[in-house]
């Protein structure tokens, strides 16, 4: 189910203008949930000292810096949006050894089998070919290495109408309180999530992971279904 390559250019257009002050508005507009989601994702990883982790779509480096807090873990943060990487670099300046790379998830400049784990937040909505991206990331893992991904999701049942009100009305209005660029980001988000999950509902995503060479693939919805974490291990 590939989409237009224009999808890959969207992050630069949406996130470059808000990179400098991204973290505080994102936390507020995310109802103080996104750090909780990060903690759950990171709890899926068993990383002994010496592990090398790739954090794709690292943004301002929130998860990457959390990973660096683990003893002996090394982290490479990769993102397509240079202003977000510059913000991550500034956040990591106080002694954190965070390597950064500007690249797409579809053409990462790393050797096969280089990483013990891969993490990602909010990636697959911004790639042109989901199966190819998953397969390519799988090749970067050592056999048995774990990958864990977080993204927004569309809630089910009684929570869906409330989610529509929030994403269609509250997010754009709330974003306007910070800046015009944040208003545009808020208006973009709801339709982006809905359109992605029309093409890639959760069962199809899980199957795509298995087809890409992952086993023991699992998922967990968080915050009344507004977020989805998927994780699995690279087959030997």
The pLDDT tens digits of the residues spanning 56-109 come to 999 999 999 999 989 999 999 999 999 999 999 988 866 678 899 999 999 999
Categorize the per-residue pLDDT at 29 as very low, low, confident or very high, splitting at 50, 70 and 90: confident
Q: Is the dihedral of CA 63, 188, 107, 18 positive or negative?
A: negative
**What is the pTM (predicted TM-score) of this model?**
0.92
Task: Reply yes or no on whether the pLDDT at 5 is more than 60.
Answer: no
Give the pLDDT score at 181: 84
Closest alpha carbon to 58 in 26, 99, 97, 18: 99
Residue 128 belongs to a domain: yes
Asked whether the beta carbons of 193 and 167 are under 8 A apart, the reply is yes
Residue 174 located in a structural domain: no
- Over pLDDT 90: what percentage of the chain? 68
pLDDT tens figures, 137-169: 999 999 999 999 999 999 999 999 999 998 999
pLDDT (0 to 100) of residue 176: 86
- 123-151: burial string, b at 16+ Cβ within 10 Å, e else: bbbbbbbbbebbbbbbebbbeebbbbbbb
Tokens of 24: 């505080």
- The values of phi and psi at residue 21, to 5°, are -120, 35
CATH number of the domain at 147, please: 3.40.50.150
With bands split at pLDDT 50, 70 and 90, how would you rate the model's confidence at 23? confident
Q: Is residue 11 situated within a structural domain?
A: yes
What domain count does the chain have?
A: 1
- Asked if residue 163 belongs to a domain, the reply is no
For a pLDDT cut of 70, what percent of the chain falls above it? 95
- Share the mean pLDDT of the chain: 90
- Per the domain annotation, does 61 fall within a domain? yes
Please check whether residue 179 lies inside any domain of the structure.
no
Residue that wins the pLDDT comparison between 192 and 18: 192
Q: Does residue 166 belong to any structural domain of this protein?
A: no
In a domain, 193, yes or no: no
Confidence tier at 17 by pLDDT (50, 70, 90): confident
**Would strands 115-121 and 227-234 be described as parallel, antiparallel, or unpaired?**
unpaired
What does DSSP assign to residue 224? G
Tokens of 132: 């190819």
Q: Which residue segment(s) compose the domain that 39 sits in?
A: 6-154+200-234
Q: Is the dihedral of CA 67, 121, 140, 234 positive or negative?
A: positive
């Amino acid at each position: 189910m590939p989409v237009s390559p224009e999808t890959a250019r969207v992050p630069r257009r949406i996130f470059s203008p808000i990179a400098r002050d991204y973290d505080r508005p994102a936390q507020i507009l995310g109802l103080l949930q996104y750090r909780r989601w990060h903690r759950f994702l990171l709890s899926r990883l068993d990383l002994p000292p010496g592990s090398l982790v790739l954090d794709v779509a690292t943004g301002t480096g929130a998860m990457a810096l959390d990973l660096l807090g683990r003893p002996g873990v090394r982290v490479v943060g990769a993102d397509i949006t240079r202003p977000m990487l510059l913000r991550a670099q500034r956040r990591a300046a106080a002694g954190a050894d965070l390597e950064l790379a500007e690249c797409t998830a579809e053409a990462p400049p790393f050797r096969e089998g280089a990483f013990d784990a891969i993490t990602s937040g909010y990636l697959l909505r911004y790639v042109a070919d989901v199966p190819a991206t998953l397969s390519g990331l799988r090749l970067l893992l050592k056999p048995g290495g774990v990958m864990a991904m977080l993204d927004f999701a569309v809630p089910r049942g009684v929570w869906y109408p409330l989610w529509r009100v929030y994403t269609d009305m509250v997010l754009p209005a709330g974003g306007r309180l910070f800046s015009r660029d944040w208003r545009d980001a808020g208006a973009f988000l709801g339709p982006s999530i809905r359109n992605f999950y029309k093409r890639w509902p959760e069962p199809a995503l899980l199957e795509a992971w298995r087809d890409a060479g992952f086993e023991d693939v699992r998922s967990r919805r968080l915050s009344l279904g507004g977020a989805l974490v998927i994780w699995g291990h690279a087959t030997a």
